[in-house]
Structure 1
Amino acid sequence: MTQFYFVRHGKTVINAEGRFNGGSVDSPLIPSGIAATKRMAQHLKTVSFDLALTSPQMRAQTTAKIVLEESLNPPALTIIEDLREMHLGDWDGKNIAQITAAYPEELKNYRTHPELFNAEKIHAEAYSSLIARSTKVIKEVTETHPTDKVLVVSHGILLMALLNTLKGVPLAKIRESGIVDNSSLTILNHSKDQMFFETWGQVF
């Protein structure tokens, strides 16, 4: 089986400011985000990764580099466009409280009824698109690296949608378990025929 180590990036300036941190915005990790990621890196330093994949966004790349700095013989970091965070269109970078006031119905569906979320209305990406591109990455890696340990560094909404979909959770319910924390680790053992999670959203 392929053993995936899914990591959500460390906490960023935009996270700390309470703004939407989607696929078209970026900001540096804050000190607490760096510290939390370094604690995770210490936990993972004995893991010999065969492959390391990251979203193209700098917050994910920075997180991946911190983790790999502690690894013995780390692989080169490979940037995968399909691991980019969900594009949130008109909401990206905007204050969450302001968006809550301006788009109450759309935000309710985004958070609690993803099957009803009208992405086109705010020029955003649909959940179905996010799920399709992220699950494609996992399927391809499982086929090409069937016995490897793979680091995957990405984002909160993407990981929430991807991991719940892999568990067999339907679209309407993918947000019920919440979003994994910044600098968290989820380990999945995955093959064509079976899968199981060793840990989910562990923080350090």
Structure 2
Amino acid sequence: MATVLLVRHGRTTANATGLLAGRTPGVSLDEHGREQAARTGERIAAVPVAAVVSSPLERCAQTARAVVERQTGATPSMVEADLTECDYGQWQGRKLSNLAGEDLWKTVQTQPSAVVFPGGESMAGMQARAVAAIRRYDAAVEAEHGPGAVWVAVSHGDVIKSILADALGMHLDMFQRLDVGPASVSIVGYGSSRPRVLTVNTDAGDLSWLATKGPSGDAPVGGGAGTDPVADSANGRTPRIDA
């Protein structure tokens, strides 16, 4: 199976001021967000990635560029519209503190599968198009580069949470139990039988183990032996540390 690193964009000016940016054009990473994206690019630099696929919005393009620039050699970079932010419709551009007073807010928190944003899309539709895009690219990467290939998808918080919920076999109504912070890395391996979620919402820790020890197709009964820090050290690899 191929392995996808789901990367959320770094912090933006809208994040820092409590605005729901949605698809508003021109929303960029702030200084802290650029630093976050650089650190994430440095983490991923330990792994040769087959491709970087990004939402078309500027904040994701900036984060994707930070990943590509730190790779050795030419890494294909693509834009995928189906990984773009949820269309929040009339909610877009408003303060989160004000939106929390809307009747729909409670439904967003407790039953997102029933949510259709006024003038926008449904959360179920967001999940469907994002999951389909991830599975489509994953199959293409594996077909071209083999089952040990690793690739990166740069997207948005709710989008990534919905992809993780699908991979975990969770109903969309439970996806608010997940947290996906700015510039975080979550890792999913897709296989013929089912996905395997290796990490969720990490913002520190070594990723070089992905370059030498990809996930197997079957889950180890009893949990398996994990990563051996002594063996990794002897082989010149830094032990895996998930935050």
The structure that has the greater radius of gyration is 2
- Could you list the per-position Cα deviations for residues 23-78 of structure 1 after superposition, in whole angstroms to 9, with x for gaps in the alignment? 34541101111111211111111211111100000100000001111111141210
Residues 82 and 133 of structure 2 are in contact (CA less than 8 Å); yes or no, is this contact kept in structure 1?
Answer: yes
Q: Please give the residue correspondences for 1:6-25 in structure 2 after superposition, counting only pairs within 5 Å.
A: 6-25=6-25
Give distance in 2, aligned partners of 1:47 and 1:58. Answer: 24
Aligned to 2:234: none
Aligned to 1:82: 82
Aligned to 1:116: 114
Alpha-carbon distance, 1:106 to partner: 0.2
Give distance in 2, aligned partners of 1:168 and 1:174. Answer: 10
Query: Which residue among 125, 130, 135 is the counterpart of 2:121?
Result: 125
SS in 1 for 2:176: coil
More divergent stretch after superposition (15-24 vs 140-149):
140-149
Give distance in 2, aligned partners of 1:26 and 1:108. Answer: 29
Give distance in 2, aligned partners of 1:188 and 1:12. Answer: 25
Q: Please give the residue correspondences for 1:43-82 in structure 2 after superposition, counting only pairs within 5 Å.
A: 43-82=43-82
Aligned to 1:151: 152
Give distance in 2, aligned partners of 1:2 and 1:46. Answer: 17
Give distance in 2, aligned partners of 1:126 and 1:118. Answer: 4
More strand by proportion, 1 or 2? 1
More divergent stretch after superposition (15-24 vs 109-118):
109-118
Alpha-carbon distance, 1:115 to partner: 2.5
Residues 6 and 186 of structure 2 are in contact (CA less than 8 Å); yes or no, is this contact kept in structure 1?
Answer: yes
Residues 19 and 95 of structure 2 are in contact (CA less than 8 Å); yes or no, is this contact kept in structure 1?
Answer: yes
**Alignment TM-score, normalising by the size of structure 1:** 0.92
Q: CA RMSD in A?
A: 1.4
Give distance in 1, aligned partners of 2:40 and 2:123. Answer: 29
Aligned to 1:196: 196
Alpha-carbon distance, 1:171 to partner: 1.9
Residues 90 and 123 of structure 1 are in contact (CA less than 8 Å); yes or no, is this contact kept in structure 2?
Answer: yes
SS in 1 for 2:177: coil
SS in 2 for 1:152: strand
State how many pairs are aligned: 199
SS in 1 for 2:138: helix
Give distance in 2, aligned partners of 1:52 and 1:99. Answer: 34
Alpha-carbon distance, 1:167 to partner: 1.1
Q: Please give the residue correspondences for 1:151-190 in structure 2 after superposition, counting only pairs within 5 Å.
A: 151-177=152-178, 179-190=179-190
Give identity over the alignment, percent. 23
**Alignment TM-score, normalising by the size of structure 2:** 0.78
Give distance in 1, aligned partners of 2:100 and 2:123. Answer: 19
SS in 1 for 2:72: coil
Q: Give unpaired runs (5+ residues) of structure 1.
A: none
Residues 55 and 79 of structure 1 are in contact (CA less than 8 Å); yes or no, is this contact kept in structure 2?
Answer: yes
